[in-house]
Structure 1
Amino acid sequence: MLTQHFPALLVVVPLIAAPLIVLVRRSLPSWIIALLATAATFGIALSLLDRTLAEGTLSYAMGSWAPPLGIEYRIDAAGAFVAVIVAAMGLIVMPYSRVGIAAEVRNEEHYLYYALMMLCLAGLLGILVTGDAFNVFVFLEVSSLATYVLIAMGRDRRALMAAYQYLLMGTIGATLYVVGVGLLYLETGTLNLADMATRLPMASDSRAVLAALAFITVGISLKIALFPLHLWLPNAYAYAPSPVSAFLAATATKVSIYVLMRYFFSIFGESAVFDARATGAILLGLSLAAMFIPAIVAIFQHDMKRLLAYSSVSQIGYITLGISMDSVDGLMASAMHLFNHALTKGGLFLVLGGVVLRCRGASFDRLAGLGQTMPVAAFAMVVGGLSLIGVPGTAGFISKWYLVSAAIHLGQWWLVGAVLASSLLAVIYVWRFVEVAYFRAPPADHPPPGEAPLSMFVPALLMIGGCVYFGLDATWSSEVATRVAEVLMNSRSGGQ
């Protein structure tokens, strides 16, 4: 049956679409191919999530070579959950891109944009399904190389510098990761992640394993943009084309967070990482710094894209805070916030892309009076901002509530105060937009009142509407996030 090959097809479909688009080389057919590929990918991802929730971990042997000798694709509820987020964002960005890239990407490069988006999508999904440590590196580089070029496609000359900065930081992160994998291979003699997990307990006290943990943690933290390794992110988000900013904000760092959770709980083992080391305390300190310092920096930004970028660094701190708690409740809160932040920040960048198209910029001077000239877009930005704050009735509130509950269960009441205090900082930078949009007059050269084109407007409003829907009814997301946390915690012995 075709469904048996879904783990491979999840990667193969966008991977085949990329060269097809290059062969076509025309904008409209390229967009159609990309749209069909993302729709098929989303359907496959949903099917895999449903199967993993019902059946458990799925194993797919490439070329019928049984693991660990052959390459294995291995996907469980955690990987499938993140795959759905990535595939859904790809599907939403494609119709948005038809008009969204017209003003930000040169016409002769449109087909390259769609091809690179397919490669980026294939790379991110490959990271989630592969059961081989080295192939994680390969897919990481596939997605990263595509991302560097996508960022550089922005018409602002600073986009080239942003891409180059990301390339340097990304290369360092990937190098550290592959060094760590090499050390693990020396100790275990295998690259298969499930096999590696069963062999590592016999070498858990080895200095090479400890060094591998350090290399992999720092390397992946660079990809996550965990404070203070975040310096590439603000410029990358600010100067990339708007659809690229939205896609990356909702997917790239989330996939890297999944890799970190996978190594911590499934490969090295929860006790080796948290009980015998100071990893939890270090991650807790960095998470708290991420929650506060970038949020303070965001308050003083004068460009909405940069404000949202620094906000992303701050929100990543909430996700890693849940990981540092080393509990099912904490992991569940992390999985919830991973989903809710992807929804919220992806929606905000999509709305902002339409505003940039109409207002010819994302600076506060260009956004002045937006409540009068683009009232629906301005209101959507406010709703997304409320979700960032964690106001009841929004998705952001749900994940912060679970995070606070996890802290209470551990008796860490001071963490509750930290979450509330950092949320107040979000109130300040969201208020900065409200002040500009509703209490300042539009610039003299502002275009006539009107919203963004429907092809951009509808996907953006769907995302913002999702922030409200999953804030009012979090049944599905909380159930899946709970299953994700249980799978990760229960797989620390390598059994899942």
Structure 2
Amino acid sequence: MLSHLPILQVILPLLAAPSCLILGRPALAWGFSFATSAAAMLISMLLLQQVWLEGPISYFLGGWEAPWGIEYRIDLLNAFLLLIVSSLSTVVLAGTRQSVAAEVEPNKQTLFYVSWLLCLAGLLGILATGDAFNVFVFLEVSSLSTYTLISLGRDRKALWASYQYLIVGTIGATFILIGIGLMYMMTGTLNMQDLAQRLPVVADTRTVFAAYAFVIVGVCLKLALFPLHLWLPNAYAYAPSAVTAFLAATATKVAVYLLIRFSFTVFGADFGAMDIPLHQLFIALGLIAVFSASLVAILQIDIKRAIAYSSVAQIGYMIIGLGLGSAAGLQATLLHLFNHALMKGALFMSLAAVALRMGSTRLDDLAGLSQRMPLTAMAFVLGGLSLIGVPLTVGFISKWYLVIATLEMGMWPVAALILVGSLLAVMYIWRVVEVVYFRDPPASSQVSEAPVSVLLPLWLLVVANIYFGIDTALPVSVTADAAQALLGWGK
């Protein structure tokens, strides 16, 4: 059984989705989805342990060895991401059953969990596969189910947000497919490891350069990198709260993984460096994303939308790390993948609890929330402190490593701008703190604290934000080894 873990990681939620549809009742569908996600999390833990101890795993489907057959290849990078995606899916599912019941129509709740499992299977498939065309297939599986999940929001604007994401996502997927097709035309292979060996022979051709451009732009559309981010705020703001928490913690991380995988494994870190200043472009776009998205977040009157814009800013930090092109910068990006999942999971789950009890996440409606929902309010504040980068939180660790990486490259202005950008997060988090803690609630308010079933998973994420901000051994060790392996220095 252990030898089949790579395929079980993907096939389990993929087969569970239609099985979930047969169950019919929403309560059974939720329980089945949660159990499936928890099983996927256990498999990802075993895979990470096995890869860390024994090295990368190659799994050949149907007995056909690569590059002739489809290969699932698990190394430290995607094993780490598999754990992030499956863990956050499990925690969010555990804490948002009542939120889904309140925000999704009863006759659509089973469909909701079917779509969730399909999305999970697609994300895990993108991470596990070592075949470029399979990346596109799983990307479509996750995207189509994501459009469905977003459209199930109770606000009719969710339909427009889903449609907007569908258009942009289709363009991005088409770009990626064109890029993959051009690579296949030039090399005759779709296996990523085989592509990495064959592409250098034809690297100077316009076709390969066009393939690189198509793939990078397509992935950046999926990633919501500035200025290709316009679909994300609406998608996060109008989707059901559970969907927002899940997507914010997982989907953009998988898109960053694709950018890293194609840039460092398939094409190579130095591809195109002589033709376009891609590293400098990434740093510039990352910094613009940090400042522009943070400034817009400050002006929002809906906190869910403000935190959605902050996701664009946090993506900017990850892209800055990639743009540095060093092992330290890559490690900072990988650390922020993990830490950002914890931050956004905690923040959006706390907002899900607020929406469950109050039916709104507008700033004015949160007056005196600390007196009515003290545990939820405190969870949001601690998640916000982590987002800012206060010491003893995971956000501090990410930005510390990123600043160190920029200083090692002699980029003092970039380091200073990163610190200033972090201060902008103080402004939109403080707006919430001021309303929640320093305004009196309406006299007629009868709002009570969120249920225990919501608070336990929420506070698990909050504690993780603090714990991994103090004990950094696991994420730092894994990301350091993964970064060195990607740059050809590791095992």
**TM beyond 0.5:** yes
2:8 is aligned with 1:9 = yes
State the match for 1:324 in structure 2: 323
Deviation of residue 443 (structure 1)?
3.4
Deviation of residue 462 (structure 1)?
0.7
State the match for 1:297 in structure 2: 296
Deviation of residue 444 (structure 1)?
4.8
2:103 is aligned with 1:101 = no
State the match for 2:386 in structure 1: 387
Q: Alignment partner of 2:442: what SS?
A: coil
In 1, are the aligned partners of 2:10 and 2:121 still within 8 Å (CA)? Answer: yes
Q: Where does structure 2 lack aligned partners over 5 or more consecutive residues?
A: none
In 2, are the aligned partners of 1:77 and 1:483 still within 8 Å (CA)? Answer: yes
Q: Alignment partner of 1:271: what SS?
A: coil
The equivalences for 1:192-211 within 5 A come to 192-211=191-210
Residues of 2 paired with 1:293 and 1:14: CA distance? 38
In 2, are the aligned partners of 1:274 and 1:326 still within 8 Å (CA)? Answer: no
In 2, are the aligned partners of 1:333 and 1:399 still within 8 Å (CA)? Answer: yes
Instruction: Give the 3 Å change call, closer, same or farther, for CA 355–276 of structure 1 in structure 2.
Output: same
Residues of 2 paired with 1:465 and 1:286: CA distance? 32
Residues of 2 paired with 1:443 and 1:254: CA distance? 40
Instruction: Give the 3 Å change call, closer, same or farther, for CA 154–444 of structure 1 in structure 2.
Output: farther
The equivalences for 1:453-492 within 5 A come to 453-490=451-488
Instruction: Give the 3 Å change call, closer, same or farther, for CA 77–156 of structure 1 in structure 2.
Output: same
In 2, are the aligned partners of 1:250 and 1:346 still within 8 Å (CA)? Answer: yes
2:440 is aligned with 1:407 = no
State the match for 2:428 in structure 1: 429
Residues of 2 paired with 1:131 and 1:402: CA distance? 29
Greater alpha carbon shift after TM alignment, 86-95 vs 140-149: 86-95
State the match for 1:378 in structure 2: 377
State the match for 1:56 in structure 2: 55
Greater alpha carbon shift after TM alignment, 289-298 vs 373-382: 373-382
Residues of 1 paired with 2:54 and 2:206: CA distance? 38
In 1, are the aligned partners of 2:172 and 2:221 still within 8 Å (CA)? Answer: yes
Letter in 2 for 1:165: Q
Letter in 1 for 2:93: M
Greater alpha carbon shift after TM alignment, 416-425 vs 96-105: 96-105
Letter in 2 for 1:79: N
In 1, are the aligned partners of 2:14 and 2:117 still within 8 Å (CA)? Answer: yes
Greater alpha carbon shift after TM alignment, 259-268 vs 271-280: 271-280
State the match for 2:240 in structure 1: 241
Deviation of residue 277 (structure 1)?
3.2
Greater alpha carbon shift after TM alignment, 95-104 vs 297-306: 95-104
In the TM superposition, what whole-angstrom CA distance separates every residue of 1:455-487 from its partner, at most 9, and x where no partner exists? 111111111111111111111111111112112
Residues of 2 paired with 1:32 and 1:300: CA distance? 39
TM-score by length of 2: 0.98
Deviation of residue 36 (structure 1)?
1.4
State the match for 1:359 in structure 2: 358
In 2, are the aligned partners of 1:351 and 1:461 still within 8 Å (CA)? Answer: no
Q: Alignment partner of 1:447: what SS?
A: coil
Deviation of residue 445 (structure 1)?
4.7
In 1, are the aligned partners of 2:16 and 2:117 still within 8 Å (CA)? Answer: yes
Deviation of residue 84 (structure 1)?
0.2
In the TM superposition, what whole-angstrom CA distance separates every residue of 1:90-117 from its partner, at most 9, and x where no partner exists? 1112222321211100111111111111
Letter in 2 for 1:365: D
2:33 is aligned with 1:34 = yes
Residues of 2 paired with 1:304 and 1:162: CA distance? 17
Q: Alignment partner of 1:59: what SS?
A: strand
Q: Alignment partner of 1:490: what SS?
A: coil
In the TM superposition, what whole-angstrom CA distance separates every residue of 1:59-114 from its partner, at most 9, and x where no partner exists? 10000011111111111100000000000011112222321211100111111111
Deviation of residue 223 (structure 1)?
0.6
Greater alpha carbon shift after TM alignment, 266-275 vs 475-484: 266-275
Letter in 1 for 2:468: F
Deviation of residue 273 (structure 1)?
4.1
Residues of 1 paired with 2:189 and 2:342: CA distance? 37
Residues of 2 paired with 1:205 and 1:371: CA distance? 61
Residues of 2 paired with 1:232 and 1:443: CA distance? 35
State the match for 1:286 in structure 2: 285
After superposing on structure 2, the runs of 4+ consecutive aligned residues of structure 1 that deviate more than 6 Å are none
Residues of 1 paired with 2:457 and 2:90: CA distance? 10
In 1, are the aligned partners of 2:396 and 2:469 still within 8 Å (CA)? Answer: yes
In 2, are the aligned partners of 1:264 and 1:273 still within 8 Å (CA)? Answer: no
Letter in 2 for 1:12: I
The equivalences for 1:175-324 within 5 A come to 175-274=174-273, 277-324=276-323
Residues of 2 paired with 1:14 and 1:42: CA distance? 11
Deviation of residue 438 (structure 1)?
1.4
Deviation of residue 353 (structure 1)?
0.3
RMSD, aligned CA? 1.2
Instruction: Give the 3 Å change call, closer, same or farther, for CA 275–77 of structure 1 in structure 2.
Output: farther
In the TM superposition, what whole-angstrom CA distance separates every residue of 1:433-461 from its partner, at most 9, and x where no partner exists? 1111112222355323x211111111111
State the match for 2:450 in structure 1: 452
In the TM superposition, what whole-angstrom CA distance separates every residue of 1:216-254 from its partner, at most 9, and x where no partner exists? 111000111001111010011111111100000000000
TM-score by length of 1: 0.97
The alignment-based identity, stated in percent, is 52
Residues of 1 paired with 2:274 and 2:468: CA distance? 35
In 2, are the aligned partners of 1:290 and 1:317 still within 8 Å (CA)? Answer: yes
Letter in 2 for 1:59: S
Greater alpha carbon shift after TM alignment, 414-423 vs 28-37: 28-37
Residues of 2 paired with 1:342 and 1:93: CA distance? 11
